Amino acid sequence: MKNSAALPKEDLSMAAQQSADATEKLLNRVLEKMEKLILIYAQELDVLSVGDMAKFQSVQPEKLKLIRECELGVAEIAQRKEAVSKASYILKQRLISTHETLSELASQSKRACESRSKSMQRIQDRLLKAARLVVNQQGKKGYGRSGKSYDSHSHRPVATAINEAI
């Protein structure tokens, strides 16, 4: 009888240990994904700084995959708050510092992408303006910003540059 009463306590202890191990594995898995994502962001920032847009495009699928995996992991961590609170302090601190680093790199990447976008928009605007000036200086037909002819409605508009919808 004494052994049968001790057995459930051992089972509970073993179940608690398995739960703790599963939580540690979850935290380590999310930490690993975050560290890979940090490397991807660093690579992305390097590529943006040299203007290699082909390489930038090539890292996007892996980055998006890792972002999704990190988000799922963080959601799972949020669901296991109580078990996570009992996890290793050092592991939790590494996770927090990695998250802060990742947030900073994501912010830098966002700023670099916005800067690149504004630069591309300025270049596109200059090209469109230059193309319109060239067409208007030819003297035959004048075209406005909407592509309509100034001197007659019978003339068919001529494409003057890059599609503005890009």
Q: What is the pLDDT of residues 68-124, one digit of tens each?
A: 999 999 999 899 888 888 888 898 899 999 999 999 999 999 999 999 889 889 999
Domain count of the fold of the chain = 1
CB atoms within 10 A of CB 50: 9
What is the pLDDT, as a whole number, of residue 1? 42
For residue 70, being part of any structural domain is answered with: yes
Q: Cα–Cα distance between 59 and 152 in angstroms, integer?
A: 50
For residue 149, being part of any structural domain is answered with: no
CB atoms within 10 A of CB 156: 7
Give the domain extent around 77. 2-120
Q: Which residues have C-beta within 8 Å of that of residue 134, sequence separation ≥ 6?
A: 160
